Every structure is written in structure tokens, then in C-alpha cells.
Amino acid sequence: MPEWPLAFFLTATRAEYAGDLAPGAVRVRGVVHDSRAVRGGELFVPLPGARTDGHAYVADAFARGAAASFWRRSVPVPAELRRRPLLFVDDPLVALWEASRAHRARLRGRVVAVTGSVGKTTTKDLIARALAARLTVAYARESYNNHIGVPLTLLAADEDIDAVVLEMGMNRRGEIAELSRLARPDVAVITLVGESHIGLLGSREAIAVAKAEIALGMDEGGRIYIPDDDPLLPKAAYLFAFPGEVRTVGPRGKDPGGLLEDRGLDGFRMWAEVNGGRAELDVPLPGAFAWRNALYALFVARDFGIPPAEVEAAWRELERSPMRLAPRHTPRGALVLDDTYNAAPTSIRAAVSVLARVPARERVAVLGEVGELGEHAPRLYAELGETLPVEGIVYLLFGPGLAPLEAALRARGARVWRTEDPEALLAEVRSYDRPDAVLLFKASRYMRFERFVQALLAEGSGEGGPTGG
């Protein structure tokens, strides 16, 4: 964790300082925006939330040991904080970005950035673990992929770090461009272009352009990896005009590789042409659909001088981000595949393909709605229902928007059940909670599907189940 004199933040953000301690007596170790994350010595960033303003937690941050805090100039300072080290700025979020930009300029290592419709976090985790085989690496253990998480991740990197691995998400055009210009990646990956955010951007072509914005923060020495079978990305203007190198990944790519064997929950085996030779690697990730994510990581590691054998060994110690096809057992013996972090039609297909390969008497796909599909939702749900496997899988659907998915599955003879009542869903899920069953949970974040997983895992522990819609 880096450490700075307070003067670094005063200069970077042009803040005005007030407090009993002289600025030279204050040193900062770490930057946080959640007072509960304070361990001692951090700079607190009070940001507006959905229900409250971060300034309400500044006192708590100091009580927990924060060294200083930003403070919005327009907000009155309560009497109990007037002697505390406060940095007055017009906007704490802008100040966070200014500090992050100044710190990025000090970093001596290279920055890797990952974006795409699906697979960002998995790819980020694979890259970070591969690079850690030889190098010092900073990366977010969670999906810190937005306008708050990216600057915080940069600020968590020591100046002499070898590599920083970032994840970049988006909700609008221009957001990836802003994040890329902040982070200035040396290497970037665009995992694929899917239907995520199509309700906001209108088409897959527009999504491709938005993802390609990652090139706008890179210079002529940069390198961007994209899938070899995507017809849209090579035509995206930002990539077409990119002065650096664009490399395709896949069986027919400039960097060739592909899937050799799908081992279900035990992972998969893949091949790749690396440094003039053929390598075959075992990847301990459930779901062979992640083979291209692993290839991206392998080729990024190559760029850092790490050979395939060391990458494969490093992946044996891979720690995956939570709620991403995490296998867990209920007290009653059912196997739960917790993939509740987020969802898109593409990732639902992939997750159900994993479920279909798990040996079990009963396979249950518990699916919720996908966000940000807009007017395209009925069509995309119907197409999903036309392509999901129906043999040997029971579908439990939650939400009014999934009626087209239900209809398409029924038309193909699938066993399907749908409700809009969370208690009814939990009761139906519980009827499958037994040792010979495996249950996949998958939905967008706003559906809060983790509550159903937690309720199942708590069965027999005396804890209650979820309530609310």
C-alpha cells in the first residue's frame, strides 16, 4: 500500500487545508470511500450515495483512524470536525480522479485494462494471477470497474509495482474513454461484444464502439487483444484508427489458441501457440466457455515475459472473485452453483452449459431478469429460450420480464416454472434441495439473487430466508 505526504493530495487536487495538525505532520496510507474500510492512516473520500451522503460518515472514518478526509466546500463543517485534517474541494469525486491521475504518472510499472460485455472479472483474475508468478501486481479483488473503483485501484498500487490490472465497465458512451484516459493502459483486452447495455446503447454495433473507446487512452506502443471471431470490433473507429497494435485471439487469430477438453466443474484444457511453440495448459475454472479469457491472460503474460508453464502453475492457486460459478453445498447436500454477481444472455447460455455437464439426478437452473436490455428484452429472452438446452434441466424463472423466455422454453418441451413472488421461488427451490440435485443461480445484480443462495446455505442453521421483491 503506497504512502504519501498530505502535500501530494493538496497539490494534485488544489485543495485548501484546515486542521489542528500541520500538513507536514499528516501522512496518508491508502484511500477509501467506505468508512468501514478504514484500518488506520487512510484518506477518506465522502461520496454521494443512493440514500445518504458520504459526509455523514466522515466522523466515523476519523473514529476508525483515518488520517484525513476530503470535504466538499459547499457542505457546512460540523463543530466536532473543525479541528480534523480536512481537504476542501469542489467535488470529492473529481478530487479522487485528480489524485489518481497524479499517482498514475508516478507508477513505474505497466497497466493492463480489461473491458467487454462479459468475462471481464474472470479475465482480470486470470491475468493478475499469471503475472504474479514473477511480478508484483496490484488489482482489485472485487469488480472495481467503474468511475470509483478504477481510480481507487490505481491509488492502491505502489509506485514501484510491476503491473496494475484493471477492469473497466460502462453504462454509457464515453465512460470507457474517460477511464482509459485516466489509467493510460499499456495493454488492453476487449473480451467480447454481447448484448449487455443494448437497452442503453441501442445496438451491438454501438456497444462495440463504446468498448473500443479503451484505445483512446493508449499510445502507439500499446497493444489491444480482441476475439478473432468478432465482426464488429475490427470495424470500430477507435480500433481502426488505433496507432498501436491490435491482436486477435482464437483458433484463427494472430495469437492462435483454442479449447481441447471440457472437464465441467473441474475446468478445461486448452492449447496456444506461444513464442513459436505449442503449449497445452490445464485451467481450473468451471466452464469451458472461459477458454478465450484464459488465452487473453496467457498472451498478456507472454508480453511480460512469463512462459506458459509458469502461468499454468500460477493458475493452480487462482482465487476467483465471489459469486461467479462458485460451487457450494447446502446443509441438505445439494450442490449450488452461485453465479449471481451479474448476467447477460451470453453469460446465461454459458452458465447453463456448465450446469448441463454436471452429473446429477436433477439439474435446476434458477434464472432471473437481465438488466439494461430495454426494448430488446422480449426478443433476446425469446432467443435465449430457443437456444438453451432443455433435456435434463428444470427451469425456475423469477420476474415478469421472463415470460418470453418461459414461452420459448415451453414450446420446446422444457420443464419450466415461473413466479414473481420471492417467497414462492424460495419454496420451489427448497423442494429441490437434496443430495442428488445441482442448482444454478443466475441473474443481474438488481435481482439480488444472492439472497436465495444464502437462504439455501442457511437451511438447518436456524437463520431465516429472504423476503422482499
C-alpha grid cell, residue 177: 474513454
- Asked if residue 122 belongs to a known ligand binding site, the reply is yes
- Asked if residue 30 belongs to a known ligand binding site, the reply is no
- Asked if residue 153 belongs to a known ligand binding site, the reply is no
- Asked if residue 253 belongs to a known ligand binding site, the reply is no
Query: CA separation (Å) from 228 to 176, 186, 246, 257, 325?
Result: 22, 21, 11, 10, 26
- Asked if residue 120 belongs to a known ligand binding site, the reply is yes
Q: Provide the annotated binding site for ATP.
A: 116-122
Q: Provide the annotated binding site.
A: 116-122
